[in-house]
């Protein structure tokens, strides 16, 4: 090697920050809740994000994977995640205990268009792990309650044991400024007092919304989209006011690795939040 290479200082977007696991809790038999804080307190407090954004978590020896932020920026300091055991990284994360260190970088992605949601009715429809990103925006709306009109939550799960944040959402039912409807396909516990049936059955509860002034937010397993989108269109909510977050394989989060590409869209930069209108124009999206 000859000569001295120039070494302009570049911020390295791939560099993880050490972050400490503060608390963990099993939510269902394969989904775990994590509270994590950047180890550097100043950085922890300065960390800015918006609901719908995601971060990359890394575990030495296992690798890195994207996760939606489940907490709300209106409660700074702690970041919350709910993580399903799926493969190498998530299995390693499940073995981690309180006080252990992981790597964290981000936030990435566009997040929900909060500006466009102001002064509108907010209809949130979640299923399965879709609760992860949508809990962030739900809590954000509740913390800034006067900025939004009606806030409606429809949440469906296979059975009560698989309902993520069951207890938390259950207690939210107490709030008068939130219309919260929970449903399960079947009650395996014998103690379920809420609705039984698929999530689309809950749409009965929002017949009287004002569609032109509603932002609908959807996230859940692929099968859910098909039925829920149909209902939302039936309610006459404009397609560009139906927002959804999408999952793609992601290796970098910053538009370089190419894994999340759909046509000329990079899900990690241009998403993960898209409108139904976008989706109809990108054939591969769902």
Ligand X SMILES: Cc1cc2nc3c(=O)[nH]c(=O)nc-3n(C[C@H](O)[C@H](O)[C@H](O)COP(=O)(O)OP(=O)(O)OC[C@H]3O[C@@H](n4cnc5c(N)ncnc54)[C@H](O)[C@@H]3O)c2cc1C
Question: Can you give the binding site for ligand X, defined by CB under 6 A?
Answer: 54, 63, 65-68, 81-84, 86-90, 129, 132, 247-248, 250, 272
Instruction: Give the separation between CA 282 and CA 189, rounded to whole angstroms.
Output: 41
Residue nearest to ligand FES (CB): 268
Query: Do the beta carbons of residue 68 and residue 136 sit within 8 Å?
Result: yes
What single DSSP character describes residue 6?
P
Q: Cis link prior to 97 (omega < 30° from 0)?
A: no
Shortest separation between residue 108's beta carbon and ligand X, angstroms: 8
Residue from the set 60, 118, 212, 223 that interacts with another protein by CB under 8 A: 60
Identity of the residue, 84 or 149, whose beta carbon is nearer to another protein in the bound complex: 84
Shortest separation between residue 48's beta carbon and another protein, angstroms: 16
Binding mask 227-266 for ligand FES (x = CB under 6 A): -----------------------xxxx-xxxxxx-----x
Q: What are φ and ψ of residue 226, in 5° steps?
A: -55, -50
Instruction: Give the separation between CA 90 and CA 68, rounded to whole angstroms.
Output: 13
Half-sphere exposure of 10 (CA within 13 A, CB side): 6
For 8, residues 6+ apart whose C-beta sits below 8 A from its C-beta are none
Q: Which does 77 bind (CB under 5 to 8 A by kind): another protein, ligand X, ligand FES, none?
A: none
- Counting contacts by CB under 6 A, is residue 272 touching ligand FES? no
- Strands (E) in 128-252, as ranges, are 151-157, 179-184, 195-196, 214-219, 242-245
Question: Closest Cα to residue 215, out of 113, 122, 116?
Answer: 122
Q: Which does 211 bind (CB under 5 to 8 A by kind): another protein, ligand FES, ligand X, none?
A: none
Shortest separation between residue 92's beta carbon and another protein, angstroms: 10
Binding mask 78-117 for another protein (x = CB under 8 A): ------x-xx-------------x-x--------------
Identity of the residue, 18 or 197, whose beta carbon is nearer to another protein in the bound complex: 18
Shortest separation between residue 191's beta carbon and another protein, angstroms: 29
Query: Do the beta carbons of residue 53 and residue 106 sit within 8 Å?
Result: yes
Residue from the set 21, 22, 172, 269 that interacts with another protein by CB under 8 A: 269
Q: What are φ and ψ of residue 204, in 5° steps?
A: -50, -35
Residue from the set 25, 29, 42, 61 that interacts with another protein by CB under 8 A: 61
Binders of another protein in range 182-241 (CB under 8 A): 222
Identity of the residue, 111 or 160, whose beta carbon is nearer to ligand FES in the bound complex: 111
Q: What are φ and ψ of residue 32, in 5° steps?
A: -120, 145
Give, in order, the Cα–Cα distances in Å from 120 to each of 75, 155, 186, 265: 22, 20, 33, 28
Instruction: Give the separation between CA 109 and CA 265, rounded to whole angstroms.
Output: 12
Q: Which residues bind ligand FES (CB under 6 A)?
A: 250-253, 255-260, 266-268
């Amino acid at each position: 090697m000859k000569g001295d290479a120039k070494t302009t200082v570049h911020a390295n977007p791939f560099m993880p920050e050490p972050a400490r696991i503060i608390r963990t809790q099993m939510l269902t038999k394969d989904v775990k809740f994590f509270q994590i804080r950047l180890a550097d307190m100043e950085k922890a407090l300065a960390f800015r994000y918006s609901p719908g954004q995601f971060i990359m978590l890394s575990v030495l020896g296992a690798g890195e994977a994207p996760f939606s932020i489940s907490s709300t920026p209106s409660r700074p300091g702690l970041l919350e995640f709910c993580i399903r055991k799926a493969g190498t990284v998530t299995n390693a994360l499940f073995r981690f205990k309180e006080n252990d260190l992981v790597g964290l970088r981000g936030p990435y992605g566009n997040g929900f268009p909060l500006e466009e949601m102001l002064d509108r009715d907010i209809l949130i429809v979640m299923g399965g792990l879709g609760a992860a990103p949508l809990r962030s925006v739900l809590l954000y709306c509740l913390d800034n309650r006067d900025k939004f009109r009606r806030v409606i939550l429809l949440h469906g799960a296979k059975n009560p044991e698989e309902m993520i944040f069951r207890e938390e959402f259950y207690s939210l039912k107490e709030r008068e400024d939130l219309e919260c409807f929970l449903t399960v396909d079947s009650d395996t516990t014998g103690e379920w007092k809420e609705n039984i049936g698929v999530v689309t059955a809950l749409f009965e509860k929002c017949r009287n919304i004002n569609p032109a002034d509603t932002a609908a937010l959807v996230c859940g397993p692929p099968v859910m989209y098909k039925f829920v989108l149909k209902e939302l269109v039936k309610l006459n909510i404009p397609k560009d006011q139906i927002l959804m977050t999408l999952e793609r394989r992601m290796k970098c989060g910053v538009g370089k690795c190419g894994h999340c590409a759909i046509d000329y869209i990079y899900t990690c930069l241009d998403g993960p939040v898209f409108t139904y209108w976008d989706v109809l124009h990108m054939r591969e999206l769902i």
